Structure 1
Amino acid sequence: MPSQPRSRTPQNRRRPPNTRSTPGQAPGQRSAPRPSSRPAPTAGTSTRGSSRTSARASQRAAALPPASPLRERVAALSKPVLVRLSALPRVVVPLLMVALAAVGLFAPVPVAVVALVALILFVGWLAYLSWPLLSTGSRALRVMMLVLLIGYGVLRVTR
């Protein structure tokens, strides 16, 4: 069975990137790269989250009542630590939490209690800071996690 030759129409041909010529430009000469439509990140901002997530968070933040002086003070004191944590690779904080949970599960009781208290304080601190921006489901998840950690810590101490 004879094979049919492939059509060489413009739809089937691919051009190498950045070789489009503009009027007044010699063929084959590279055009300047197009400017990005994304704004450049400013100092102190993260490029990790999606724009949809940050848009929802900013909408929720705009609808919030003013923060209490205590919350503002805790947020201001927490900012340097949060900046350092956000500068770490993304897997470091979850791995640290898993390591603390594993120590809390398998280590002798005095060491386990210290690890569980550190984990409870860390999760509680993050929950407190993010509470105004969280949805109801996210709040319930944070509370459930804290209750489970505290419950396991009490069980571990009493056994």
Structure 2
Amino acid sequence: MANRRPRHPLAQPQKAKKAPRPLPPGEQFFTPGATGLRKTVETRSAPLLVYLYQMPKWLLPVVLVAFFIGGFALPDWRGGLCMLPVIAFTGWLAYLSWPSLRVGARVLRLALLAFLLAVAVTRFGGL
């Protein structure tokens, strides 16, 4: 015990930093041969996707479900505002995943976006 240095009374124990989750395995991060708008959107979306992947797994679904429920629960313009982040996020992911989807999955994403837009429009209709 003689070799042990006394700790400063205000010193906090150092916490080990948690390493970020590694990215999931995959063949490609970007659409091969993409040009124009798709290439720009994919390039600018990559850092945000990595950031969202590093967040706790439960956080994004909880936030989106809260906005979704708010969109249905509030019958006026506030419900329409609550639906806008859900529409934007769903549309963004649909756009990014579009090249790798089959026809049935594309139709489902379009139907979901149409439904969400219809809910938002009915909420804004009272203005």
CA distance in 2, matches of 1:106, 1:145: 19
Does the Cα contact within 8 Å between 2:80 and 2:119 map onto a contact in 1? no
Between 1 and 2, higher relative CO (CA 8 Å, sep ≥ 6) is seen in 2
Match of 1:46 in 2: 24
Residue in structure 2 matching 1:156, options 119, 123, 126:
123
Query: C-alpha root-mean-square deviation of aligned residues, in Å?
Result: 2.3
CA distance in 1, matches of 2:116, 2:84: 9
Residue in structure 2 matching 1:136, options 88, 99, 103:
103
Give every structure 1 segment of 4 or more consecutive aligned residues whose post-TM-superposition deviation is greater than 3 Å.
none
Structure 1 unaligned runs (5+)? Answer: 1-42, 48-53
Match of 2:68 in 1: 101
CA distance in 1, matches of 2:61, 2:108: 16
Alpha-carbon distance, 1:86 to partner? 0.8
CA distance in 1, matches of 2:98, 2:43: 15
Alpha-carbon distance, 1:114 to partner? 1.5
TM-score by length of 2: 0.70
TM-score by length of 1: 0.57
1:56-75 C-alpha deviation (Å, 9 max, x unpaired): xx5xx7xx772122111111
CA distance in 2, matches of 1:89, 1:65: 30
Paired letter, 1:101 = F
Q: How does 1:36-115 map to 2 (within 5 A)?
A: 45-46=23-24, 58=27, 66-107=33-74, 109-115=76-82
Alpha-carbon distance, 1:90 to partner? 2.3
1:29-84 C-alpha deviation (Å, 9 max, x unpaired): xxxxxxxxxxxxxx96325xxxxxx5xxx5xx7xx772122111111111111111
Alpha-carbon distance, 1:151 to partner? 0.9
Match of 2:6 in 1: none
Query: Looking at CA atoms only, which structure, 1 or 2, has the larger radius of gyration?
Result: 1
